[in-house]
Amino acid sequence: MILAAPISRVSVLARGARLLLFAGAAAALASCSMFDDFNPFGGEKYKMVIEPDVPASKAYDQGLAQLANGAPADAAKKFTDLGAKFPDSDWARKGLLMTTYAQYQGGDFDSAEASAERYVKLYPKSQEAAYALYLEASSYYRQIPDISRDQERAAKALAAFQQVIKDYPNS
């Protein structure tokens, strides 16, 4: 016959204290804003939104329309989304070039420089690579301060324009 050891009052209290501590920690974590997505007590915090599947050509046309209506920042976002939804396609290439152009038109020259540089790195042999490099050089040029200040942008613009001439002499 096997006899079970008697459960001491201390071990019962220790288990209760641990359970209470665990429940308190769970409640504290559930109320933290860092854990908004995690709700251990169930319930729906966010509703699922199903976006319609828009063809690439229509998304591109929407970006062009926003650009024509004087919203270059919105157009740049639309063209960026086009590249994200259709990666490794001709639409991604066109979207990146148009993102660069929209950023340039909107006066976001730092973003235009980065987008143009990315385009030239990804598609150096495309017909539009010279234009992307031109937009990069123009973005540098548009940020040249007056003659008495640092001329780093002027040097970068000159180098980029020279690269357009050297790499794409027939453009």
* pLDDT above 80 for 40: no
Identity of the highest mean pLDDT range in 28-37, 47-56, 117-126? 117-126
- pLDDT at residue 18, rounded to an integer: 77
Q: Rounded mean pLDDT of the chain?
A: 82
What mean pLDDT do residues 99-106 have? 94
Per-residue confidence band for 115, with pLDDT thresholds at 50, 70 and 90:
very high
CA distance 60 to 115: 17
What mean pLDDT do residues 82-100 have? 90
Tell me the domain boundaries of the chain: 10-50, 56-167
**3-class secondary structure, 93:** helix
CATH number of the structural domain 56-167: 1.25.40.10
| Distance (Å) of CA 11 to CA 7, 18, 19, 21 | 7, 10, 12, 15
For 164, residues 6+ apart whose C-beta sits below 8 A from its C-beta are 130, 133, 134, 137, 171
- pLDDT at residue 59, rounded to an integer: 87
- pLDDT at residue 108, rounded to an integer: 93
- pLDDT at residue 11, rounded to an integer: 67
Q: Report residue 100 as tokens.
A: 């660069």
